[in-house]
Structure 1
Amino acid sequence: MRGFEYSDCWVDDARLVLANAQMVVRKGGEVLTRTRATAARRENGLWIVEAEDIDTGKNMSGRRADWLTPPDRGSNSSSTKGCTCRRRMASA
């Protein structure tokens, strides 16, 4: 699984955001907009991400990723439960 996250900056160039989303879809991924990451934890070398759809309140879990960097930029922490960062999740 691969993805992109913008958590420490704002991107005004909608073309860049659109190009990234289109690339994810071309590679077979799923773009999750208006989605909030509610927790992330390491398990067997992968990150398990729990997320919530902001519009419906539906919870999603089990999104596995070996590429995820925690909000504190790479500490060896095994959990980021309760993270307050804003996320747009996309996976491929």
Structure 2
Amino acid sequence: MTALPISIFLIARNEADRIGDVIRAVRDLSDDIVVVDSGSTDGTQSVAEALGARVIFNPWKGFGPQKRFAEEQCRHEWLLNLDADEVVPPKLKAEIREAYGT
């Protein structure tokens, strides 16, 4: 499927056991998946990178600042923010594609 002009971003720390499912669920939607990591020690970065995400380290300064930093790293105008344990269901993916006319 064709990637949409949307960036998907997540903030994470020690989410290796969850983040793979999250990225797998959306990697066909976007060519720009950004994971901002605040110092994981469990392999979160490796899991995300292996699935095609760009992983950027940023020290934790709170939820708001971390999300704003993540937004600034995105390449597309349209953004989708996910939690590191939030798997997008197929119905929502279809609705997003429909909104873009694909």
TM exceeds 0.5?
no
Task: Normalising by structure 2, report the TM-score.
Answer: 0.28
Larger helix fraction of residues: 2
